[in-house]
Amino acid sequence: MTISAKKFVSDIADNFEALRPEFEASLRDNFGEIIPHLIMADYCRAVISADPGSTWVREFLSTLEENFSDSEDDEVSNAIAVSFVEHLPQSNENHGVVPMLGRKLRNQYEAIMTVDGPRPAPG
């Protein structure tokens, strides 16, 4: 059974206490509306700024991996690909998150980097 992207990002906030503030801030900023792509990008920034060795980071990435599919019409996978994976640091930035990606997310990451080419390093 496929769940909606709105329910997915909401469930993430319920299951990962470290991400709850991101979800709540997004609700405040968007007049109570759940906007999955914005929230997923917020989750990405939180993961990037967290200790990559944290248990919740590993469990969160595992949850994304389990819920990601190659189906183009899957709104959860679309939110994960476009608003999480696409915002991850380049692999040459030596950030600990990218090597932790599961097979499906790693393939998506590599496809994005191959098509778009590496993003320029921040100024």
Comparing 67 with 123, which gets the higher pLDDT?
A: 67
Lowest mean pLDDT among 59-63, 96-100, 104-108, 111-115: 111-115
User: pLDDT tens across 82-97, in order?
Assistant: 999 999 988 767 678 9
Evaluate if residue 8 carries a pLDDT over 90: yes
Decide: 34 and 61 in contact? Cβ < 8 Å.
no
User: pLDDT tens across 52-78, in order?
Assistant: 899 999 999 999 999 999 776 799 999
Model pLDDT, residue 39: 98
